[in-house]
């Protein structure tokens, strides 16, 4: 079997595990619990809710991703799956990308699909939904790849979820700043797309896709020693 077929089989296996493991529903439920509770905490002023919506949406998506990262590598570490990954006749970086891609498709894509409804519940204008989704989609790969670095560094550690949050939160700051700024400018001028900010988000995502797999592989190898 060629390396490409091995990676495809690994991706399909990981996607099945994500979809059957019950990881998605808690994340989706978390998103809508946050969205439904925000108006109670911020008060009934719709204009205030609309002004805060860009930052709130990014923070909610970030927290949903962090919620889903806890078992990305930890379960494989506990059951010996990481050792099996290293024995595959493909580069460990390729196997890691297959796992992260399955995580992205199985969890993050459904979360992104809920974001337009979440935005409408936070009183954003309907004509800003597509610019909002474009900004979120441009920054989402960076959030996943940076989160995977934290999950790999915390592998084998008790209560790894908290350590993952502490590691990756500073790395998320540029993505949140540019992402929230892009959404805020789209809300200020409905129907417009902040191309510059989305381009920066795309560059950050592309850099993270290129640089994160070697860092994750090194962290996993160190965690198994």
> What is this structure's pTM?
0.86
**What torsion do the CA atoms of 76, 102, 204, 113 make, to the nearest 10 degrees?**
-130
Residue 160 has pLDDT above 70, yes or no: no
CA 224, CA 213: separation in Å to the nearest integer?
17
Q: What is the domain count for the chain?
A: 1
Asked if pLDDT for residue 206 goes beyond 90, the answer is: yes
**Buried b or exposed e, range 132-168, using 16+ CB within 10 angstroms:** bebbbbbbbbbbbbbbbbbbbbbbbeeebbebbbebb
Q: Which domain holds residue 56?
A: 3-224
Report the percentage of the chain scoring pLDDT > 70.
92
Q: How confident is the model at residue 205 (pLDDT cuts 50, 70, 90)?
A: very high
**Element at 200 (helix H, strand E):** helix 195-224
> pLDDT per residue over 106-154, tens digit each?
888 888 888 888 888 887 777 778 888 888 888 889 989 998 888 888 7
State how far the Cα of 216 lies from the Cα of 184, in Å rounded to an integer: 33
d(CA 88, CA 107) in angstroms, rounded, equals 25
Q: Residue 216 and residue 73: Cα distance in Å, rounded?
A: 10
């Amino acid at each position: 079997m060629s390396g490409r077929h091995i990676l495809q089989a690994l991706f399909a296996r990981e996607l099945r595990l994500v979809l059957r493991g019950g990881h998605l529903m808690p994340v989706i439920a978390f998103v809508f619990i946050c969205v439904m509770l925000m108006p109670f905490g911020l008060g009934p002023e719709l204009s205030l809710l609309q002004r805060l919506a860009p930052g709130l949406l990014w923070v909610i998506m970030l927290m949903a991703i962090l919620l889903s990262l806890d078992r990305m590598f930890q379960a494989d570490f506990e059951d010996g799956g990481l050792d099996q990954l290293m024995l595959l006749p493909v580069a460990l970086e390729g196997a890691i990308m297959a796992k992260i891609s399955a995580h992205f498709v199985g969890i993050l894509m459904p979360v992104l699909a809920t974001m337009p409804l979440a935005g409408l519940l936070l009183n954003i204008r309907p004509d800003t939904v597509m610019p909002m989704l474009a900004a979120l989609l441009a920054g989402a790969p960076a959030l996943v790849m940076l989160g995977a670095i934290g999950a790999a560094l915390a592998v084998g550690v008790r209560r790894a979820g908290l350590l993952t949050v502490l590691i990756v939160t500073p790395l998320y700051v540029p993505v949140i700043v540019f992402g929230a700024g892009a959404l805020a400018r789209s809300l200020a001028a409905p129907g417009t797309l902040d191309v510059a900010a989305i381009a920066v988000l795309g560059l950050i995502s592309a850099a993270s896709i290129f640089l994160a797999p070697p860092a994750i592989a090194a962290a996993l190898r160190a965690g198994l020693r």
